[in-house]
């Protein structure tokens, strides 16, 4: 978000004003030498003369202080005395105006607090949607001619105002489920693909001329590209950048692979100095990098199938993912603790990132999933779950919560049927931020004792911290894409302790609307849903725990403790899954 301050000024006596907003080319303030004649001043990046009396132009702020003052270094162009009359001050909001008319998707359930989290997440993300401009990127050297003038999804509203692809793993899903501005996602992904290095590496962002070395972000670029296709059906993008995916998976990551173990090993191929989403000092075979590799390989294989690619890419990548999965379980599973090690190098510790994504990438077996989620619960804090179970890699790591990585643990809990613990983690993480300053947006990270993890430097509105929104839409409402542009879909409400939910999910073929309600005492569940006519999918409903329940699809019985119709299955414990076509349907369990 860029807030530009404007005002009408009339000098009574010659004077200089100081605006306390920012700290880039200025020492924490903007300076104005008020002319003799009345005028309107708009804060813009630049100086009056000779590098003196400067204004930064980069500002996202909540409070503005105007004082009569001058810097000694601004002599002879400014003086700290005189009198100025200010007749008006206005502020321009350049971020996306998330007003009711702009929402293409929405969510509501029986729990008002969860509803508040959903809309706070939408607001947080809206603050990060903006046009990329040369003089309000942060840091300054992130400006890129190929992005200027385009709508993008920045990391943060104030600090970190540059679009990073890792953040899109969460923020893009939030955007795609709320507003029809998909170009803000595509513009970023396409630009990074266009700046791919000759060795296949994809830069994380435009910062430092597209050279910031991060080890994991090329994998997030593939995962986010897959999401873009699933949610928007943009197969044109997939075709254009398919060769980039091949370069990432078949050129760059093999150069950092231990051929004996099949595991990615940071340090091989001159990658020791590469960072990751948290710039952690870890090398060697790291669980997080490898499970994310498996996820990206399988996502890329799906893209190859969507595009009907006439080669063996899908087979090769699926086979490689299977081999890496076996290597992870053979080398990185800590049977004594019941969780994956963070790495085979350095002191013993277990990280939230690798363990959570191991579940989502289907690296962990059901028994391993149960065990590792239980271990992650042992370190729970009042403000969320920390990203490490001890401080052996860094001071305070066992007390630091990253909402970014916490999102994947929440998804792991939902996907494994642990709805109650998923919702509990949501409440602790997001309630804490919602009840602390600024009370309406979600922070980049939470540190020791629940403070902002980097003090005043912390972004208080960060798109990667909005995972509660897609978690509630995809799992509580239950709507997920399974084919490009929701050509195929699944609806599987995970109810937990929620009594009803309703909402709309936008798709390029038309909206998917869902309403479900359950009566716990009577062991009843009813869901109504309306999907685009030219689509098909699966509806999964929870069975009655007491007796299995009778199930009716559009008033026709399809289940009586066993299948009555040909399209019913119970492949997921506790759920009945039915194949259905697009249109309006109702399923009742009683």
At residue 485, the pLDDT reads 99
The Cα–Cα gap between 159 and 138 comes to: 6
From 383, 384, 382, select the one nearest 356 (Cα to Cα).
Answer: 384
Residue 252 backbone zone (phi > 0: left; psi -120 to 50: alpha; other: beta): alpha
From 515, 523, 522, select the one nearest 543 (Cα to Cα).
Answer: 523
Question: Mean pLDDT, 10 residues at a time, over the chain (590 residues)?
Answer: 56 58 59 85 84 80 82 86 86 91 98 99 98 84 92 93 97 99 99 99 97 98 99 99 99 99 98 97 98 99 98 98 99 99 98 99 99 99 99 98 99 97 99 96 96 88 98 99 99 96 99 96 90 98 78 93 70 89 97
At residue 71, the pLDDT reads 87
Question: Which DSSP symbol is given to 103?
Answer: B
* Helix, strand, or coil (residue 244): helix
Kindly give the interhelix angle for 217-232 and 165-176, rounded to the nearest 10 degrees. 20
At residue 15, the pLDDT reads 58
Question: For the chain, first and last CA: distance in Å?
Answer: 50
Query: What is the spatial order of strands in the sheet that 30-33 belongs to?
Result: 30-33, 16-20, 65-68
From 330, 416, 331, 428, select the one nearest 374 (Cα to Cα).
Answer: 416
At residue 1, the pLDDT reads 42
* Beta strands 39-42 and 65-68, pairing class: unpaired
Exposure string for 38-63, b = 16+ CB within 10 A, e = fewer: eeebebebeeeeeebbbbbbbbbbee
CATH 3.40.605.10, domain 113-127+226-474, yes or no: no
Residues in the chain: 590
Q: Give residue 9's Cα distance to chain centre.
A: 42
Cα 234-236-240 angle, rounded to 5 deg: 125
The Cα–Cα gap between 49 and 283 comes to: 49
- Enter the tokens of residue 559: 């289940």
The model's pTM is 0.94
Count the Cβ atoms, other than its own, within 10 Å of residue 31: 24
Instruction: Name the strand (E) or helix (H) holding 289.
Output: helix 287-306
At residue 2, the pLDDT reads 43
Q: Are 181 and 165 in contact (CB under 8 A)?
A: no
Q: Give residue 229's Cα distance to chain centre.
A: 16
At residue 375, the pLDDT reads 99
Query: How many H-runs (helices) and E-runs (strands) does the chain carry?
Result: 14, 23
CATH architecture of 480-589: Sandwich (2.60)
The Cα–Cα gap between 572 and 558 comes to: 17
Q: Are 307 and 242 in contact (CB under 8 A)?
A: yes
Residue ranges covered by each domain of the chain: 3-93, 113-127+226-474, 480-589
Q: Would the CA dihedral through 134, 135, 136, 138 be positive or negative?
A: positive
From 331, 325, 387, 313, select the one nearest 361 (Cα to Cα).
Answer: 325
């Amino acid at each position: 978000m860029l807030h530009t301050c404007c005002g009408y000024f009339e000098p009574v006596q010659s004077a200089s004003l100081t605006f306390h907003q920012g700290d880039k080319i200025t020492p924490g303030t903007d300076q104005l030498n008020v002319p003799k004649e009345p005028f309107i001043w708009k804060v813009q990046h630049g100086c009056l003369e000779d590098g003196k009396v400067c204004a930064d132009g980069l500002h996202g702020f909540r409070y503005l202080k105007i004082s009569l003052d001058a810097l000694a270094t601004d002599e002879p162009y400014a003086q700290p005395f005189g009198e100025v009359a200010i007749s008006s001050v206005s502020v321009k909001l350049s971020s996306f105006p998330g007003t009711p008319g702009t929402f293409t998707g929405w969510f509501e359930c029986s729990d008002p607090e969860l509803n508040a989290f959903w809309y706070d997440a939408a607001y947080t993300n809206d603050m990060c949607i903006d046009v990329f401009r040369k003089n309000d990127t942060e840091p300054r050297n992130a400006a890129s001619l190929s992005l200027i003038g385009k709508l993008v999804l920045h990391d943060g509203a104030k600090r970190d105002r540059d679009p990073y692809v890792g953040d899109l793993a969460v923020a893009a899903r939030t955007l795609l489920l709320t507003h029809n501005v998909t170009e803000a996602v595509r513009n970023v992904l396409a630009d990074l693909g266009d700046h791919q290095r000759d060795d296949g590496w994809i830069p994380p962002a435009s910062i430092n001329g597209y050279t910031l070395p991060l080890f994991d972000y090329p994998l997030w670029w593939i995962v986010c590209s897959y999401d873009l296709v699933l949610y928007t059906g943009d197969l044109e993008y997939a075709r254009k950048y398919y060769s980039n995916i091949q370069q990432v998976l078949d050129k760059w990551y093999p150069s950092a692979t231990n051929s004996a173990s099949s595991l990615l090993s940071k340090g091989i191929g001159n990658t020791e100095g590469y960072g990751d989403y948290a710039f952690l000092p870890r090398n060697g075979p790291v669980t997080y990098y490898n499970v994310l590799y498996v996820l990206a390989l399988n996502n890329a294989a799906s893209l190859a199938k969507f595009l009907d690619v006439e080669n063996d890419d899908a087979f090769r990548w699926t086979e490689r993912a299977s081999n890496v999965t076996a290597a992870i379980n053979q080398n990185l599973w800590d049977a004594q603790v019941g969780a994956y090690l963070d790495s085979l190098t350095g002191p013993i510790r277990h990280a939230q990132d690798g363990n959570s994504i191991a579940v989502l990438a289907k690296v962990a077996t059901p028994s391993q999933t149960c065990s590792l989620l239980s271990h992650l619960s042992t370190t729970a804090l009042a403000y969320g779950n920390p990203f490490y179970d001890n401080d052996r890699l860094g001071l305070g790591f066992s007390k630091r919560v990253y909402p970014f990585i916490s999102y994947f643990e929440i998804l792991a809990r939902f996907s494994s049927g642990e709805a109650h613990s998923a919702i509990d983690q949501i409440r602790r993480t997001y309630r804490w931020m919602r009840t602390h300053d600024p009370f309406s947006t979600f922070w980049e990270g939470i540190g020791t004792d629940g403070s902002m993890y980097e003090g005043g430097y912390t972004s208080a509105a960060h798109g990667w911290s909005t995972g509660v929104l897609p978690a509630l839409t995809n799992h509580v409402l239950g709507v997920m894409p399974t084919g490009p542009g929701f050509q195929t879909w699944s609806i599987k409400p995970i109810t937990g302790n929620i009594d009803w939910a309703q909402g709309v999910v936008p798709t390029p073929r038309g909206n998917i609307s869902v309403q479900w309600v359950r009566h716990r005492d009577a062991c009843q569940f009813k869901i109504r849903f309306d999907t685009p006519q030219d689509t098909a999918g699966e509806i999964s409903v929870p069975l009655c725990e007491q007796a299995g329940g009778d199930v009716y699809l559009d008033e026709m019985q399809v289940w009586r403790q066993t299948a009555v119709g040909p399209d019913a299955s119970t492949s997921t414990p506790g759920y009945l899954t039915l194949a259905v076509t697009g249109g309006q349907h109702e399923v009742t369990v009683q």
